[in-house]
Amino acid sequence: MAERYPKDRFDEIPEDLARTGAHRAPPPPGRGWIGFAWAALASGILVVIGLLVLAQLNSQVNFELPDLAGESASPSASASAAPAESATPLPTDEPDEVVTDPSTIDFDEISITMLNGTTTAGLAAEAGDYLEEQGWVVETRTNASENDVPTSAVYYYDEVNAGIARGVAEQLGVAAVQQSAAFPGASVTVVLGADFELPS
């Protein structure tokens, strides 16, 4: 049988006894979002630093935004208009090197870009529509990076496309045709200048 001991002060527990010691409080509301915000901020800073380092290491990296006010949303349309004053005139004594029939062209392999180098809104779209009515396929129509080009010109990137470039120039009534590495994104690039008039 269990022994009974007399009650002492440890057997009496006051009603107002407050808990003492270390107790874990409930987490404050929104604590998870604070951690997420810090992680997102750190990620953003690391991305910006990485881009800046990449730009320093490789000068060919271009962070320019596409021209949203252009006539086409194609990202490949961003190009600068090269000076047309040095372009060579369209040869009139070499008809064999002028492709005038667009049905003979494989437009899966050949791309034509139309750039508006003037302040006339929609000029590249109008010239592109005109070419397509004649059977050509214009892949890109947009504004050039300059809007004060004085002379229209047709540029071709590779020598094998010289005849096509001359054919496009003849169709548009443009006198200047030139080989240029300024527009590597297209086989043939038309830069419309202030002298351009849409053929009637």
Q: What is the pLDDT of residue 165?
A: 94
User: Residues 144, 149, 152, CA angle at the centre, nearest 5°?
Assistant: 90
Q: What is the pLDDT of residue 136?
A: 94
Residues 198 and 124: beta-carbon distance below 8 Å: no
List the structure tokens of 111: 């791309």
Q: What is the pLDDT of residue 22?
A: 53
Residues 159 and 179: beta-carbon distance below 8 Å: yes
List the structure tokens of 153: 């010109």
Instruction: Work out whether the CA dihedral 158, 160, 166, 172 comes out positive or negative.
Output: negative
Q: What is the pLDDT of residue 39?
A: 86
Report d(CA 87, CA 179) in Å as an integer: 8
Q: What is the CATH number of domain 75-192?
A: 3.30.70.2390
Report d(CA 182, CA 171) in Å as an integer: 22
Domain boundaries, the chain: 32-63, 75-192
Q: What is the pLDDT of residue 200?
A: 77
Flag residues of the chain having pLDDT under 50: 59-95
Q: What is the pLDDT of residue 76?
A: 43
Tokens 């409080």 belong to which residue?
25
Are β-strands 188-192 and 153-156 bridged in parallel, bridged antiparallel, or unpaired?
antiparallel
Write the DSSP symbol of residue 160: G
